[in-house]
A and B are shown apart, each in its own frame.
Chain A
Amino acid sequence: MKTASLSTEQAPPISVPLRFFAIAPLFLLLAAWILAWGDDLSNPHSPALLAATHCITLGFMALVMLGAVQQILPVVIGSPMPAQRWVAWFSFLPLIVGTLSLAGGFLLHEPALLNLACWLLGLAFLTFIAASLISLSRATAQNASKNALWLAISALTLAVTLGSLLAHGYANGLPLNYPQLALAHIALALGGWVTMLIVGVSFQVVPMFQLTPNYPKWLSAGLPPALCAALLLFLCSRLLESAPLGYLAEALFWLLAVSFATITLKLQSQRRRRVADATLSFFRLGMISLLLAALFSLLAPFSPELFKMSAVVTFILGFALSVIHGMLYKIIPFLIWFHLFRGGIKKGVPNMKEIIPEAWMWRHLWLHFLTLLAALMTLYWKAAVWLLATGLALQGILLCFAIVTAITVYRRTLTGMEK
């Protein structure tokens, strides 16, 4: 039995997560611009593709994920980050400028920009990781999400370390084993940090917001450590340069990912309120994309370049971005409602469904689906990159508009109450 003994301030100020969410869509616009004007996009290691990919993974995904984790920790494990405003500023600004420096460094072949990016991104992630670890170590709650968050933060630490080493080595011409280090960096960032965070948050968010049954205990207890084991096995295979061990680790990872996606889709089919919901559809598109990414990965031996690129595109744009969009459209209205309510406003608080119009979310869902198709088309037909760039840019604009609308509703309600 637990009694009231929480810290004096549970939820961070609403400005903490919202500043991350409001700026993140601008990086989709930047990625679109780089893709539209970049050279040699058929080469996965081309500077333009590296710059655009990091605008999406760091500029968009990491900004949203860092902002969301600061909000999620007190809700899911009852333990807020220490010094929330300081952590927000010291992760927010260096992450933005660091991502811009990294993209600029790749595009302009400028070592000084890459070195600057290493320092700034290192500062942003070090601040965030240290604050997350303090929050996790203070939490008394015992649930599967907490374990997944520990592992996600650990994977992020290693991914950032390897990423910094790669950028520093690339900028200064260090003799490193770049292909192996890059594979380990990608595995830790996407397979570790992104997958583990989505899995851990889904254990709470899917049953809570989508009114599904809870995830089975064997899955919520076993999946995070099993994913971690698959990643460690993959890292060992890179260290030993053992191809069979690498295939085994990949097969294990995708088997676990398929289990997660299949069970999530099954739980969603058993939800209590069977009404159409755009955020649920974003989530379903994410899970179907994860299954497709697994399929493309299995087909990789037949045409390595084509299917590996298809798997990466489906994973990042199809799985990660779909789930992030779906979560954003749930989290932002909930945050605004909660902060208005907690601010003492009892009357005139808008219904959660009125904060961001559902029609926009549906339009965004279809636009996102078409963008994903365009991204897959670019692997066969290079001119489709213009469709991909247009889709990403429109998504950035739509998301910006939705977030600004939500902030306007919040401010208007507060102002109305003051009059």
Chain B
Amino acid sequence: MPDLDVCGLPPPEPFEKIMKALQTLPAGETLRVRIPREPFPLYAVLRDTGYIWTTTPSAEGNYEILITLRP
């Protein structure tokens, strides 16, 4: 599963990196993103572009998001 850590990047870099990683994501694969806060604006873009996602808060205060193209 491809991993992407966008902690420590200023807006809009996390957003740009996630969208770039999704463009090269093989069909059926899931992208795992580690991000310091819940990216609500990203969800709207993911939904509009046909992705599904699950978000889980981690113990150290970050969030892990698993993003997959909707079948």
User: Does any Cβ of A come within 8 Å of B38's Cβ?
Assistant: yes
Q: In the bound complex, how far is the Cα of B46 from the Cα of A133, in angstroms?
A: 27
Q: List B contacts of A165 (CB < 8 A).
A: none
A: number of interface residues (CB 8 Å): 29
Closest CB in chain B relative to A327 CB, distance in Å: 13
Given known A-B contacts A78-B38, A334-B11, A352-B12, A4 and B45 have beta carbons under 8 A apart: no
Given known A-B contacts A3-B53, A78-B38, A338-B41, A208 and B11 have beta carbons under 8 A apart: yes
The majority secondary structure among interface residues of chain B is mixed
B44 touches A209 (CB 8 A): no
Determine the interface band of chain B, counting residues with CB < 8 A from chain A.
20 to 34
Q: In the bound complex, how far is the Cα of B14 from the Cα of A211, in angstroms?
A: 12
Could you count the A-B residue pairs with CB atoms below 8 Å apart for me: how many are there? 69
User: Does any Cβ of A come within 8 Å of B17's Cβ?
Assistant: no
Contact residues, A98-157 vs B (CB, 8 A): 141, 143
Contact residues, A62-98 vs B (CB, 8 A): 74-78
Taken residue by residue from 29 to 71, chain B's Cβ proximity to chain A (1 for < 8 Å, 0 otherwise) reads as 0000000111011011111100011111000010000000000
Contact residues, A363-398 vs B (CB, 8 A): none
Q: List B contacts of A3 (CB < 8 A).
A: 52-55
Of A10, A211, A272, A341, the contact of B40 (CB 8 Å cutoff) = A10
User: Does any Cβ of A come within 8 Å of B8's Cβ?
Assistant: yes
A11 touches B41 (CB 8 A): yes
A4 touches B41 (CB 8 A): no
User: Does any Cβ of B come within 8 Å of A1's Cβ?
Assistant: yes
Interface centre among B11, B55, B61 (most CB of A within 10 A): B11
User: Does any Cβ of A come within 8 Å of B10's Cβ?
Assistant: yes
B10 touches A211 (CB 8 A): yes
A10 touches B37 (CB 8 A): no
Given known A-B contacts A204-B37, A338-B12, A1 and B43 have beta carbons under 8 A apart: no
User: Does any Cβ of B come within 8 Å of A169's Cβ?
Assistant: no
Q: In the bound complex, how far is the Cα of B46 from the Cα of A9, in angstroms?
A: 12
User: Does any Cβ of B come within 8 Å of A207's Cβ?
Assistant: yes
Closest CB in chain A relative to B23 CB, distance in Å: 9
Q: List B contacts of A76 (CB < 8 A).
A: 40
Q: In the bound complex, how far is the Cα of B61 from the Cα of A204, in angstroms?
A: 13
Given known A-B contacts A208-B11, A337-B12, A78 and B40 have beta carbons under 8 A apart: yes
A1 touches B47 (CB 8 A): no
Closest CB in chain B relative to A242 CB, distance in Å: 42
Closest to A217 in B: B61
B54 touches A1 (CB 8 A): yes
Q: List A contacts of B44 (CB < 8 A).
A: 6, 9-11, 342
Of B40, B54, B56, B61, the contact of A6 (CB 8 Å cutoff) = B40
Q: In the bound complex, how far is the Cα of B11 from the Cα of A338, in angstroms?
A: 10
B41 touches A209 (CB 8 A): no
B56 touches A4 (CB 8 A): no
B12 touches A341 (CB 8 A): yes
Closest to A330 in B: B11
Given known A-B contacts A141-B38, A207-B36, A352-B12, A10 and B54 have beta carbons under 8 A apart: no
Q: List B contacts of A208 (CB < 8 A).
A: 10-11, 36-37
B10 touches A273 (CB 8 A): yes
Contact residues, A307-353 vs B (CB, 8 A): 334, 337-338, 341-342, 352
Closest to B60 in A: A214
B47 touches A6 (CB 8 A): yes
Taken residue by residue from 198 to 214, chain A's Cβ proximity to chain B (1 for < 8 Å, 0 otherwise) reads as 00000010011101001
Q: List A contacts of B11 (CB < 8 A).
A: 208-209, 334, 352
Closest CB in chain A relative to B66 CB, distance in Å: 9
User: Does any Cβ of B come within 8 Å of A2's Cβ?
Assistant: yes
Closest CB in chain A relative to B60 CB, distance in Å: 10
Closest CB in chain A relative to B20 CB, distance in Å: 10
Closest CB in chain B relative to A212 CB, distance in Å: 11
Taken residue by residue from 174 to 210, chain A's Cβ proximity to chain B (1 for < 8 Å, 0 otherwise) reads as 0000000000000000000000000000001001110
With contacts A6-B43, A10-B41, A211-B9 known, what are 11 further pairs, Cβ within 8 A? A3-B52, A4-B46, A11-B41, A77-B40, A78-B40, A78-B43, A207-B37, A209-B11, A341-B45, A342-B41, A342-B48
Q: Identify the A interface with B (CB < 8 A).
A: 1-4, 6, 9-11, 74-78, 141, 143, 204, 207-209, 211, 214, 272-273, 334, 337-338, 341-342, 352
